[in-house]
Chain A
Amino acid sequence: MQSEDLAKALAPVLGDRILGVEPFAKTAGRLRFRADAALDVFRAVKEDLGFHHLSMVGGIDWVSHREVFYVAWSDRLGQYLLLSTDLPADAPHIESATPVWPSANWHERETWELVDITFDHHPDLRHLLLPDGYVFHPLLRSFKLHEPEELEVKKRSV
């Protein structure tokens, strides 16, 4: 499936909730969508197009804004599909994808603790890789690496 086919297939279902589809490497395309319509887009992509497997969720800190992206896989097409949307840099939050793809659970926990993107209505938004009580979000651009002697504030979490 090419990105034009993807746009053509999704246009009647989602309308203006899609901001655009662009070709991206060997995937089916990179689908930009509006953040407030996230669950509609996920359902349409999974049930209408057959992208049943969510491969990963990640986030990028672009300083001016945050980007959250989803990589879905279709067995029928044998292709990946990228879905991404932009969130404001202050208090970024988006609806959780767990009702559609249960495998989003741990990926969203990781994205939350590393890039500080809150997923609304997530069933269990706890720390996954970092210790409980860790107050930093290490993959943000504003996070500075510490010398071990400056670690007192980090030790407090243990």
Chain B
Amino acid sequence: MSAPPPQLPAKVAPANAESYRLEGDLPMVDHPAVPFVEIETVRAQEFIPAAKEALSALIAEQGQSKVIRPTFNWAGRNSLFPLHWGLACCAIEFASAFSARWDSERFGIVPRSSPQQCDLMIVNGTVTWKVAHKLITLYEQMPEPKWVIAMGNCATGGGPFRTAYSVVPGVDKLVPVDVYIAGCPPRPEAMIDGILRLEDLIRERKE
């Protein structure tokens, strides 16, 4: 014994709508206009002073560093902006990580073209002594706080070119590195995993 099928509402057509309505169509219903903006404004006017009061009470109770720092870390680790550049073949995987298939933007990772808008430098490729100046300049142009990920074997330790006359054996000779990603080149999943490891580091950041 199944329940009877739901009854469609009776056809009540507006007086002027008959001419363009198809046969068998559902009737058009006029929804009342909801004053959404007004409601939200009123709620915000009530909410903001209450939130301020609660935050002040929390800071007074816990101390400033225990409230501001986690909030700051939470915002920082969820909006990591890596520098959009490429040194070698790892840059192909770096670019793939932002394509539709891997879509790193769902983690808030958005590559920026200017170092002054970035807080994360992903060194994706072989660093030569010739380009070392430029890498250091770009790193110094990034605002604090900033992090560095060495992506791939070349950036980690020189890779197959470790003993070559023109290759830096690991980018940690030039800038402080937070996370090393192995692989030649690492897959986009590995790069995303490295960034998530970095987010764990930022979560525990104290100063």
Contacts and interface: CB of A to CB of B under 8 A. Distances in A.
B169 interface: yes
Interface string A116-158: 0000000000000111001010100001011110010011011
Contacts of A134: 129
A145 B166 contact: no
B71 to A, nearest CB: 40
A131 B169 contact: no
B132 A158 contact: yes
Main secondary structure, interface of B, reads loop
Contacts of A129: 130, 166
A155 to B, nearest CB: 7
B158 interface: yes
Contacts of B133: 131, 158
Contacts of A148: 157-158, 162-163, 169-170
Nearest to B174: A158
Interface residues of B, number: 14
A147 B163 contact: yes
Interface in B130-184: 130, 132-133, 157-158, 162-166, 169-170, 173
B169 A151 contact: yes
B159 to A, nearest CB: 11
Contacts of A138: 165-166
Interface in A63-82: none
A134 B162 CA distance: 18
Given A145-B163, A146-B163, A148-B162, A157 B129 contact: yes
Contact of B165 (A136, A147, A158): A136
A143 B165 contact: yes
Chain A: number of interface residues, binned into ranges: 10 to 19
Nearest to B170: A148
Contacts of A130: 129-130, 165-166
- Among B129, B157, B163, the most chain A Cβ lie within 10 Å of the Cβ of B129
Contacts of B157: 148
A134 B133 CA distance: 13
Contacts of B166: 129-130, 138
Nearest to B164: A145
A141 to B, nearest CB: 14
Contact of B173 (A131, A155, A157): A155
B165 A145 contact: yes
Nearest to A128: B130
A12 to B, nearest CB: 46
Contacts of B163: 145-148
Given A136-B165, A138-B166, A145-B164, 19 more contacts: A129-B166, A130-B129, A130-B130, A130-B166, A131-B129, A131-B130, A131-B132, A131-B133, A138-B165, A147-B163, A148-B157, A148-B158, A148-B163, A148-B169, A151-B169, A154-B165, A157-B129, A158-B129, A158-B132
Q: Which 6 A-B pairs rank lowest in CB-CB distance, beginning with the nearest? A: A148-B169, A138-B165, A131-B129, A145-B163, A131-B130, A158-B132
23 contacts: A130-B129, A130-B130, A130-B165, A131-B129, A131-B130, A131-B132, A131-B133, A134-B129, A136-B165, A138-B165, A138-B166, A145-B163, A145-B164, A145-B165, A147-B163, A148-B157, A148-B158, A148-B163, A148-B169, A154-B129, A155-B173, A157-B129, A158-B129
